[in-house]
Amino acid sequence: MTEVKRIGWITPWRISKWPPREWAKACSAPRLALLKAMEAEIEAMLSFSR
């Protein structure tokens, strides 16, 4: 059990050249872009219906 945990959790951080904060930022970037695109779409719909 401990072996699996070590391979699954610690190793990716060790292999990664990025610090955890940068890694998290890179992971959240696509989600943020999607949210902004959705927001723009909603804005367009609202201004169109006015």
By the 8 A CB rule, do 18 and 26 touch? yes
Question: In this predicted model, what pLDDT tens digit does every residue of 21-47 receive, in sequence order?
Answer: 776 777 777 778 888 888 989 898 888
17-48 residues labelled b (16+ CB within 10 A) or e (exposed): eeeeeeeeeeeeeeeeeeeeeeeeeeeeeeee
Rounded Cα distance between 28 and 15, Å, is 20
Question: In this predicted model, what pLDDT tens digit does every residue of 3-12 receive, in sequence order?
Answer: 444 444 454 5
Tell me what pLDDT residue 23 has. Answer: 67
Q: Which pLDDT band, with edges at 50, 70 and 90, does 1 fall under? A: very low
Tell me what pLDDT residue 32 has. Answer: 80
Q: Is 50 exceeded by the pLDDT of residue 50?
A: yes
